[in-house]
Chains A and B, each alone.
Chain A
Amino acid sequence: MSTPQKLTRIKAVNWNRIEDDKDLEVWNRLTGNFWLPEKVPLSNDIPSWVSLTPIEQQLTIRVFTGLTLLDTIQNTVGAPALMADAVTPHEEAVLSNICFMEAVHARSYSSIFSTLCATRDVDDAYKWSEENECLQRKSTLILEEYKSDNPLKRKAASVFLESFLFYSGFYLPMYWSSRAKLTNTADLIRLIIRDEAVHGYYIGYKFQRVFETLTPMEQLEIKDFAFALMLDLYDNETKYTEALYDDVGLTEDVKKFLHYNANKALMNLGFEALFPADMTNVNPAILSALSPNADENHDFFSGSGSSYVIGKAVVTEDEDWNF
């Protein structure tokens, strides 16, 4: 198989001549997902916000400034860098959608702040972020790879940002939601999480398309690079997690969530999981906050159900079924 070539000159994009049908599938999903923060009634969270302690409020604002930084990096550096590496015009178009949604994500946190928080507290949190070494280190580690001369390294770094680095932050709104707090904010974060899932999937898929054209030696080199970068980022994330969550006693719970997501980030690149089951047993309350109602039917093989359960899903209509 030949190595996919970067696009060199600009050709009008023709969506009726698709070279990789994943481009169209993902384009459809992403455009169908489009949303703006105004869609979510954040102000309904005001009573819940004032019920948090000052420490909890401070933690929440700090977490969201950290997430804002990641989305800003993806919007201004990450997605544009990947666009330059695109091998089909449709890939370029998908990445431009990703790029724009990152700006929407970054903008959403400011909507949360202006709805719930005092300006002074937000300013303090931004200052904290700018001075927090772990947060700065994480952005440096990623930005260095975005500058590298290897498109595969850029893609791997991008997947780690999308599918791993966000989760030290996403944990908190899922935790609040599991305690029936800030539930509208959690709805907004779930929209972001869903977008990031498609981003991580798609960039990881494009990584794998190139990876499979490499020689075994080159593959080994890239795989070593990816695992080493993951371990550097992980090391830094554990420190960042401690700095944020020690005060509220949640650090160990968050770390399990980090391990679980690190495994998923590696899978998006087509690699096997790194952390064993006893390190990834995420608090079930957090898992159900991620996918509400999805665990209602106990799966037979999990041992939690003693008899067969036939799904009672609303049978969505799809004209292709003929029975």
Chain B
Amino acid sequence: MGLLVYFSSKSQNTHRFVDKLNIPAQRIPISPQDDMPEIHEPYVLVVPTYADGDGKGAIPKQVIHFLNDETNRSYLRGVIAGGNRNFGQFYAYAGDIISARCKVPCLYRFELMGTAEDVANVRNGINKLWK
């Protein structure tokens, strides 16, 4: 049913969300010392937001490094963004930025580790996407 690629920091919220989806997923390593995955099939990227008060730095550095690889970028089909509404106008802003920069749609946003409803919505959406 297609692949997910995701990043999650030591707080593991995104990891827990992806775990609940039960869709094949590959994790971008937290440490820049670890090997960066090379993807050769279409995938959707799941990323948490880490912006400052002006919206800068929203995308974790490791995700930028992953997307800097042209092959990885060429198979990207959409982005799903994590965050917390309490960050105001920059809620899940990582989705907007990756969408604009990589010209792929932002498919969904969720808070923290996502609710049961988020899991159902994303599973349905992903199923349709790869049909």
B68 and A322 form a contact (CB under 8 A):
yes
B125 within 8 A of A: yes
Contact of A318 among B12, B13, B64, B113 (CB under 8 A): B64
B88 and A291 form a contact (CB under 8 A):
yes
Q: A29-B52, A310-B103, A318-B56 are in contact. Are A290 and B88 (CB under 8 A)?
A: yes
- Chain A residues near B11: list those with CB within 8 A: 22, 201, 204-205, 208
CB within 8 Å: A-B pair count: 143
Contact of A297 among B55, B56, B73, B106 (CB under 8 A): B106
Cβ of A183 to closest chain B Cβ, rounded Å: 14
B105 and A300 form a contact (CB under 8 A):
yes
Contact of A190 among B16, B56, B88, B109 (CB under 8 A): B88
A270 within 8 A of B: yes
A268 within 8 A of B: yes
- Chain B 109-131 interface mask (CB, 8 Å, partner A; 1/0): 10111011100011011100000
Which of A201, A264, A291, A301 has the most CB atoms of chain B within a 10 A radius of its CB? A301
A1 within 8 A of B: no
A248-B10 Cα distance, complex, nearest whole Å: 43
A193 within 8 A of B: yes
B87 and A291 form a contact (CB under 8 A):
yes
A293 within 8 A of B: yes
A310-B58 Cα distance, complex, nearest whole Å: 18
Pairs A–B under 8 Å by Cβ, sample size 9: A25-B50, A291-B85, A291-B91, A300-B78, A300-B105, A313-B96, A318-B56, A318-B57, A318-B59
